[in-house]
Amino acid sequence: MAAHNDVEAFHQALRSSRRILALCGAGLSASSGLPTFRGAGGYWRNYDATSLATVRAFRTDPGMVWLFYAYRRHLALKAEPNPGHRALAALARRNLDFMCLTQNVDNLSPRAQHPSSQLKCLHGSLYDIKCSNESCDWIQRGNFDDPFCAALAPASVDMPNGEPLPLLDPYHRVKHITEDELPKCPKCHRGLQRPGVVWFGEDLDSAMMMDISAWMNAEPLDLMFVIGTSAQVYPAAGYIDKARKRGARIVTINPEAEDEAEMFKVNPGDFAFGKDAAEYLPLLLEPIIGKPNADGEFEMS
């Protein structure tokens, strides 16, 4: 059997694959300059980034949680999709039986022209705004206001010469932002507006989950890409085992994928590439999507 990182063998497997699933995480956008959650870069001021992504944190200090998301909105708006996003979008255009699940809320896959019918944003989007009142269904899609509101302007500052943003320095005091300074829901006038992302302890959109189950159960799977995710957050990570049970060979692309401690996850017939997704996805998908043109775009099929 070919080695787990044999590109030729992978290309052969890819050519004979039709139904393909992908699960993407923060590592897909790492080369676009967006920090991941766990490991280096997983801190924002002195907060563990994941501790700010909860309903409880928002109830306790909505201003601080909003600053964190306002900063991420600003950063992702300034970032550009990388060749990894573009390669996956090109695969989707070439293969209508390819479905991509992303945990990323940065909007970089849609901006890379990934067809929306083949992209499920499991954890929502930084650019959707919802109401924090659980009994209110107000939602506004595609809000790219930057700054989001006057009180959040410190999160949208661009520093000259790459100097660090004062907001990111935990010793730099930020003025406390009160609830009155944050916009309220225009429908119920009670809840605060909040980012349309899924926080820890919240459910994923049930209609989307049903769509994914229906897609997975329709026919067996051939391949599943696991791209730039630590696969620690459920239900997203659960799709890996589900796909395996549906017959998929697993292809992991993550700088840590070939570390000794990770190799137990690689079953016979699986692939693991310990590489940057932005660099390696175009190479791995080349038999289907071809080479990019001078602008870094893949032909529209």
Residue ranges in contact with Zn ion by CB under 5 A: 131, 133, 136, 138, 185, 187-188, 191
Q: Least separation, in Å, of the C-beta of 105 and ligand APR?
A: 7
CB 16 within 8 A of CB 10: no
- Chosen residue from 20, 32, 37, 156 binding ligand APR by CB under 6 A: 37
**Residue 31 site contact among ligand APR, Zn ion, none (CB < 5 to 8 Å, cut-off depends on kind):** ligand APR
**Residue 20 site contact among Zn ion, ligand APR, none (CB < 5 to 8 Å, cut-off depends on kind):** none
CB 15 within 8 A of CB 63: no
Q: Tell me whether residue 151 or residue 253 sits nearer to ligand APR (CB atom).
A: 253
Q: Does 255 bind ligand APR (CB under 6 A)?
A: yes
Q: What is the DSSP string of 59-120?
A: HH-HHHHHHHHHHHHHHHHHS---HHHHHHHHHHHH-TTEEEEE---S-HHHHTT--GGGEE
Q: Does 75 bind ligand APR (CB under 6 A)?
A: no
| Partners of 23 in the β-ladder | 101, 226
**Residue 193 site contact among Zn ion, ligand APR, none (CB < 5 to 8 Å, cut-off depends on kind):** none
**Which spans in the chain are helix H?**
7-15, 55-60, 62-78, 83-94, 108-111, 206-218, 238-245, 277-289
Q: Least separation, in Å, of the C-beta of 15 and ligand APR?
A: 24
Q: Is 131 annotated as a binding residue?
A: yes
| Binding segment (CB under 6 A) for ligand APR, from list 183-191, 213-221, 248-256, 261-269 | 248-256
- Chosen residue from 252, 254, 271, 285 binding ligand APR by CB under 6 A: 254
Nearest to 149 by CA among 197, 187, 104, 194: 194
For the purposes of burial, counting CB atoms within 10 Å of the CB of 280, is it exposed (0-12), middle (13-18) or buried (19 or more)? buried
- Chosen residue from 95, 103, 107, 125 binding ligand APR by CB under 6 A: 103
For residue 82, what are the CA distances in angstroms to 38, 183, 278?
A: 21, 33, 6
Report the C-alpha gap between 261 and 52 in whole angstroms: 29
**Residue 187 site contact among Zn ion, ligand APR, none (CB < 5 to 8 Å, cut-off depends on kind):** Zn ion
| Binding segment (CB under 6 A) for ligand APR, from list 27-35, 131-139, 144-152, 289-297 | 27-35
Q: Say how many CA atoms lie within 13 Å of 59 toward its Cβ.
A: 6
Q: Is 24 annotated as a binding residue?
A: no
For residue 204, what are the CA distances in angstroms to 49, 126, 197, 264?
A: 19, 15, 9, 29
Report the C-alpha gap between 161 and 225 in whole angstroms: 38
Q: Is 188 annotated as a binding residue?
A: yes
- Chosen residue from 19, 85, 123, 249 binding ligand APR by CB under 6 A: 123
List the catalytic residues.
123
**Residue 131 site contact among ligand APR, Zn ion, none (CB < 5 to 8 Å, cut-off depends on kind):** Zn ion
Contact residues toward ligand APR (CB under 6 A) are 25-27, 30-31, 36-38, 50, 53, 103, 123, 228-230, 232-233, 253-256, 276-277
